[in-house]
Amino acid sequence: MKFKFFPALILNILFITIMFVFSNLLFASGKAEEAKKTYRLPEIEDKIKIDGALSEEAWTKALKVVADIEIMPGENIEAPARTECFFFYDRHNLYIGFIAHDPESDKIRAFYNDRDNCWQDDLVGIMLDTFNDENRAFTFFVNPLGIQGDEIMSLGGQQEDASWDAIWNSAARMTGSGYEVEMAIPFSSLQFQPSENEQTWGFLPIRIMPRSRRYQITIMPFNRNNPCTLCQAPKITGFKGISPGRNLELDPTLTAARTDARETFPTGGMKKLDSRADFGISGRWYFNNNMNLSAAVNPDFSQVEADVAQLDINKQFALYYPEKRPFFLEGRDFFETPVEAFYSRSIADPDWGVKVSGKAGKNVIGIVSAQDTMTNLIFPGAEGSDSTTLGQRSYANVFRFRRDIAKGSTVGLLVADREGDSYHNRVAGLDGLIRFTRSDTLTFQFLGSNTAYPEDIAESFNQKKGSFSGYGGTIGFSHNKRSYYLNAEYEFVDPDARADLGFVPQVGYRRFEVGGGLTRWGKQGDFFNRITVFSNFDQSADYDGNLLEREWEAGVDLEGPLWSYFNWDIGTRKKVYLGHSFNQLFNQFYFSHKPAGNLSLNTWVSFRDEIDYENIRPGHAFEVEPEISIRLGKHLELGLSHMLSRLGVDGGRLFLANLSQTRLLYHFNSRTFFRAILQYRNVNKNLDLYNFPVDENSKKLFSQFLFSYKLNPRTVLFLGYSDNYFGYNGVSLTQSDRTFFFKVGYAWNI
């Protein structure tokens, strides 16, 4: 089946251009952007104790600003509570204090959590744009019980990454009229351009106040026609003579693990499979002032957080799992590009790793190098993907360079190379983010690759023999205003393109998409905070011009009281798979609700036509994913979730899959917790409806128990246990393996 791709693309580009022109005529305000206010930061050498009480004399000399403007959900109106913010610095630290007044202090929401898990609580914090590039900022937040949350904001504040962890000091205390917070942020935990002269940073104090709505409060009004938060933030001048330093941090670790497994399943006895005790060391050194060198020798790269539970039945492409290992999480925003050409989980089990990251002036540099004991491969195609693991070590190297070319605009280069025995994959390309105006953004990336697989692998997985090359890329445009948005995107990836150190499970296609939406913001007294009605159209074809998918969808997003969010998405799709054409309808809902500070609920429901990919025939899918989280007091948290997936075909139900997860956490204090996770998977298949032999029933039970103590993000103690149970057909759930795990790490600053 052929279809004319480029005429359709031209028509849709013409459509989006006309919409863009008319929208500017209809919605242009003609108002000039206001000048940003600048504050002067005093240098004070008085010593203070970080205990949550702003009682020292130094706070009376500090810069004081008042946050009393609600920017969400209300638009630049008087805030429901007033917050006093104080700032000063010495040669080593930036000191920040908050007095958060609250006329209803009994409604303050604060729970003991692991760090970076406090985002649903009352919070006060600061954004620091230390390079004053209005593109990237460090943020630091604290809840009323002293739980820390830090993250990196990029793309002008539109993208957040909480995986970054800094070492800093804070304390908080509840008062009868609210709460108080003190922070001491070492300059050695930040990156900025050192200078003996004064510096100007972007900064923005923020208070989060969750009640029936999640109020965001700050010191200035914001223009919703400008989606760039950091572009509007005020400035702070001072910091004379400070330096990020050239501190050296060494993190020695001792890791011990023992794994037992059955010799034969299910009747064999449990025998020791592996037992090891390893001493490792990682280190961080800030050289050249704000460039960070991280290295790890014989490290423990295992993750103590269980993977997100996912069902892998009837999937067309490889599943995506987020990165959770601290070594790869730190500085990962430097490596992000429109196409995920570097996916750190492709480095599965490295013997050692080295990473360099940092920013010097307008230049961002990132380098990762590792020796991997496992070489996992994804073989992408236009209509599906396959995978395998090479039985050999490989060497992974990634180089990233990005340069600021204007406020909020960047261009960059990425090179990724993985080498093994009779194997290589080399990728290089250019990318950029160009802000023509505060509302208009162009993103692009163009990549080329060269790949060679071992001959037996190429033959087994129907891949080209010898060395072959490919290319791909994407270009997109977005126009975002207060009351509407428009976007357009074009992607192309040829059949021979590969990005083995990235996550690119589909190749051999060309795709374009156009869409937009209209937004209405609620006013005081309205039942909603925001309503957005949207629609988009996308179409993809393989490189021979054969249609792969044509889809139109429309929907509505609604934000309401009690932290409620509702999304309804409907549409129609024509999909072609292995020469078979399928006309499909889909209808799905998502609803989340937080009726009280200790209870949150969300549910996703989907009714849709779906392809039975294994038997290549039409089907109808029903999926539902309810989830509930309950806080029992300040310390105990219980989470329950379930996934049900059902596919029906002519003749009856093809399969029914269930995946349940229970998660229990008890936080003894801000540093110590115990966690238990249980995941149970049960799949039942109708043997009469499959065209090949399958197991009628399969079951899996995974459990993990963890005790954690964290003095800071890298001074840690973990004690853990995990196991797996399997069952199928007439075999009941039987334990197949078990692992005992111990790790202690210490952050030693020199």
pLDDT computed for residue 227 by the predictor: 85
Q: How far apart are CA 273 and CA 285, in angstroms?
A: 38
CB atoms within 10 A of CB 632: 10
Mean pLDDT by 10 residues, the chain (750 residues): 42 44 40 69 93 94 96 93 96 95 93 90 96 90 95 80 85 95 92 85 96 92 89 93 75 88 90 85 73 76 62 83 77 87 90 86 89 92 93 94 86 96 96 90 96 95 95 96 95 97 95 96 85 97 96 95 92 95 97 89 96 95 96 94 96 96 94 95 95 92 94 87 92 93 83
E-state strands within 187-300: 199-210, 214-218, 235-238, 248-262, 270-287, 291-297
Residue 9 DSSP symbol: H
- Domain total of the chain: 1
Q: Under a CB-based contact definition with an 8 Å cutoff, are residues 417 and 424 in contact?
A: yes
SS3 328: helix
pLDDT tens for each residue of 379-424: 999 999 999 999 899 999 999 999 988 777 899 999 999 999 999 9
DSSP string of 183-217? EEEEGGGS-----SS-EEEEEEEEEEEESSSEEEE
Q: Under a CB-based contact definition with an 8 Å cutoff, are residues 747 and 167 in contact?
A: yes
Q: How far apart are CA 293 and CA 298, in angstroms?
A: 17
Phi, psi of 240 (to 5 degrees): -65, 130
98, part of any domain:
yes
123, part of any domain:
yes
Token pair 């973990």 is found at 718
Distant-in-sequence, close-in-space partners of 7: CB < 8 Å, separation ≥ 6: none
User: Which domain range does residue 57 map to?
Assistant: 36-238
Beta-bridged to residue 477, according to DSSP, are: 442, 488
CB atoms within 10 A of CB 346: 23
**Hey, what are 325's tokens?**
């290992």
587, part of any domain:
no
Burial class of residue 243, CB neighbours in 10 A (0-12, 13-18, 19+): middle
CATH number assigned to the domain comprising residue 185: 2.60.40.1190
632, part of any domain:
no
451, part of any domain:
no
216, part of any domain:
yes
pLDDT computed for residue 305 by the predictor: 62
514, part of any domain:
no
pLDDT computed for residue 162 by the predictor: 79
Q: Under a CB-based contact definition with an 8 Å cutoff, are residues 319 and 310 in contact?
A: yes
pLDDT tens for each residue of 701-749: 999 999 999 888 778 899 999 999 999 988 899 999 999 999 898 888 7
487, part of any domain:
no
